[in-house]
Structure 1
Amino acid sequence: MLEHGGRLQRAVQQYAIPRAQWLDLSSGIAPWSFAIPPIPEQAWARLPETDDGLEQAAVQYYQARQVLPVAGSQAAIQALPQLRARGTVGVLSPCYAEHAEGWRRAGHRVLELNPDQVEGLLDSLDALVVVNPNNPTGSLLKADQLLGWHARLARRGAWLLVDEAFMDNTPQFSIGAQAGQPGLIVLRSFGKFFGLAGVRLGFVLAEAELLQRLAELLGPWTVSGPTRILGQSCLLDSAAQQRQIARCAEASQRLASLMTGAGFTPTGGCDLFQYLVTDQAMRLHEFMARRGILLRMFNQPASLRFGLPASEQDFQRLAQAFNDYRKETL
């Protein structure tokens, strides 16, 4: 299993700090969850059905032609490589590590690329994978560039797979509306923006024929009845969505300012996290963890991702920890 953020229980055991005393900033999940609607008893008692309005709500929310709900976008990340004959796949890196891993496990040759390398190699790829905004760097590629790459790939029957897991905060940059075109696949995560990662829900936006093949591979009832009701409620709540967008933007800007004031100006980020490349990554991660603050550390390059603090108390606690670190390292 690859390393991921959010492994709080492991930190509880490693540092002998009770779970309730931790400030978990290790994931890029919004720290404020949308309200959970009443779940009818029948949703628990019956097999889920697909004509309950979830797909229609998602089509409206994502401005897509058609969608396939899945048990978290991770399910699609693992399944999609099985729908292509083995070939050469480019993955813009660093990014969410499950993408490269999924294609390797399916027997494909994986090239981890930076954006400057794509133009020269694009015509030799059977698929190109892009996380946009990127995780963990937060970098954002323009829609025109992505659609230009897709046009070149599609001429040869190749794919462009764009993971927009962190796009909900900036929907104006999404290319989901174009995902009905052959060879263009867009993944959307539900749990991050809505603060409900535990429900395991995501959506695949693509042409109908590909969605049908993916649905047959994944099998029936991949999304539970209660999750379908909850997902539909959140996707239709436009007022709560606008509040979440504003709240995340404000918290992310404040986090960036706090880090800059502490001498650690972010290298990148988006409205759900800030990203820092530093040769002090391991030391700072350990220092924070000993004080019950969990960050996400990366090795290549040495870097840290900071999720959003949820409250004034959380911001103050992080600021105090930075002050203590500065004093210790002077």
Structure 2
Amino acid sequence: MNGDWTWHGGALAAAQRHFGGDARDWIDLSTGINPDPWPGVASLAIDWQRLPEAGALTALETAAATSFGIDPAYVCAVPGSEIGLRLTGRLIGGAAHHVVPAYRTHGAMIAASTPVGADDMMQHGDTLILANPNNPDGRCLTPDMLAALLDRRDAGSWLLVDEAFADGDPAASVAPLVGDGARLIVFRSFGKFFGLAGVRLGFVIAPRDIVAGLRDLLGAWPVSAAAAAIGTAAYRDTGWIAATRAALPRRAAALDAMLARRGYTATGACPLFRLIETEGAGALFERLAHARILTRPFAERPDWLRLGLPADADALARLEAALG
């Protein structure tokens, strides 16, 4: 299996080279990104000749904080949550465990981190890194479960929660628990829920000393003028956010029903993607790719295949036909 597809979703160019066709022939279900992006980008006026103003960054972080239900003092905008994870890992260091399976960066952000299964994560008191909802299996922990994990931390250790897929259900977030007296850091991604991964925008929600350390590492102009403008306007669009939070579970249920008709059981509580477990996952990936549908296989779990939401009824029907 080509590492271009098992390392990360979104390797559409590699799929085109290997299986043929051009971009318009393909349905990309490999990323778990909202296929209906926030629609306001085209109406924004962005001055590409000027550096971002300091006030634009403040407006962005305030809009995001309002959406997250937290104080803006604890929010630091970063050029993608990937960079936020890695820089935070550099800041805190020390002994750590990362819950697997999960996003690969969780294992790379702290050099001394070792993997631990979800069933054993309560057994360790050092810094713990996990995602909620988790990727790729969609496992969700309740805020009470996460609070118990936070209470379990040893002195000087942290609970690091990657909430890249949490925008669909704000009640599941522990971001409101972040404060100067809490050993908790939360990471949020803009691109997944808003369907605009190319903007490269994320947020670290942390005690103020961590935020200050991140700002020192990031330097001036941590995000582009475009990212600031798009993020600010999108987080202020509460009507679109509410409608999308209502629509995504319905669309995920339609995907579940279709997969069940074809003999597959979908797992996961995140409405942006589903995981299926089947002995022939590699062959199924190849068959779908020959039908110009890109999904996400896993080198370490050849029985897994992750599928994002199809963009519309036609895409769902085309996926069903390809599944046979």
With the length of structure 2 as denominator, give the TM-score of the two structures.
Answer: 0.93
Deviation at 1:196, TM superposition (A): 0.6
CA distance in 2, matches of 1:70, 1:271: 25
- For residue 155 of structure 2, what is the aligned residue in structure 1? 156
Check whether the contact 1:95–1:136 (CA below 8 A) recurs between aligned residues.
yes
Identity of matched residues, % = 36
CA distance in 1, matches of 2:269, 2:67: 24
CA distance in 1, matches of 2:48, 2:22: 33
Q: How does 1:1-330 map to 2 (within 5 A)?
A: 3-35=7-39, 36=41, 38-41=43-46, 43-52=47-56, 53-65=59-71, 66-85=74-93, 87-103=94-110, 108-120=111-123, 122-123=124-125, 125=126, 127-153=127-153, 156-180=155-179, 181-302=181-302, 303-323=304-324
Deviation at 1:279, TM superposition (A): 1.6
For residue 11 of structure 1, what is the amino acid of its counterpart?
Answer: A
Check whether the contact 2:34–2:193 (CA below 8 A) recurs between aligned residues.
yes
For residue 274 of structure 2, what is the amino acid of its counterpart?
Answer: Q
Check whether the contact 1:93–1:112 (CA below 8 A) recurs between aligned residues.
yes
Deviation at 1:37, TM superposition (A): 5.4
Check whether the contact 2:106–2:130 (CA below 8 A) recurs between aligned residues.
no
Deviation at 1:292, TM superposition (A): 0.3
Deviation at 1:269, TM superposition (A): 4.5
Cα displacement string for residues 6-55 of structure 1 (whole angstroms, at most 9, x for unaligned residues):
110110011112211001100110001112153435x3222112323111
CA distance in 1, matches of 2:92, 2:118: 23
Deviation at 1:295, TM superposition (A): 0.3
Deviation at 1:243, TM superposition (A): 1.4
Structure 1's unaligned 5+ residue stretches are: 324-330
- SS class of match (2:187): strand
Deviation at 1:267, TM superposition (A): 3.1
Check whether the contact 1:57–1:235 (CA below 8 A) recurs between aligned residues.
yes
- SS class of match (1:45): coil
CA distance in 1, matches of 2:44, 2:298: 39
Seen in structure 2, the aligned counterparts of structure 1 residues 195 and 288 have a Cα distance that, compared at 3 Å, is: same
Deviation at 1:71, TM superposition (A): 0.4
- SS class of match (1:146): helix
Check whether the contact 2:90–2:109 (CA below 8 A) recurs between aligned residues.
no
Check whether the contact 2:122–2:152 (CA below 8 A) recurs between aligned residues.
no
- SS class of match (2:43): coil
- SS class of match (1:64): coil
- SS class of match (2:164): coil
Deviation at 1:175, TM superposition (A): 0.5
CA distance in 2, matches of 1:275, 1:179: 31
CA distance in 1, matches of 2:204, 2:54: 15
Q: Over the residues paired in the alignment, what is the CA RMSD in angstroms?
A: 1.5
- For residue 327 of structure 1, what is the aligned residue in structure 2? none
Paired residue total: 313
For residue 167 of structure 1, what is the amino acid of its counterpart?
Answer: A
- For residue 326 of structure 1, what is the aligned residue in structure 2? none
With the length of structure 1 as denominator, give the TM-score of the two structures.
Answer: 0.91
Check whether the contact 1:186–1:206 (CA below 8 A) recurs between aligned residues.
yes
CA distance in 1, matches of 2:152, 2:42: 44
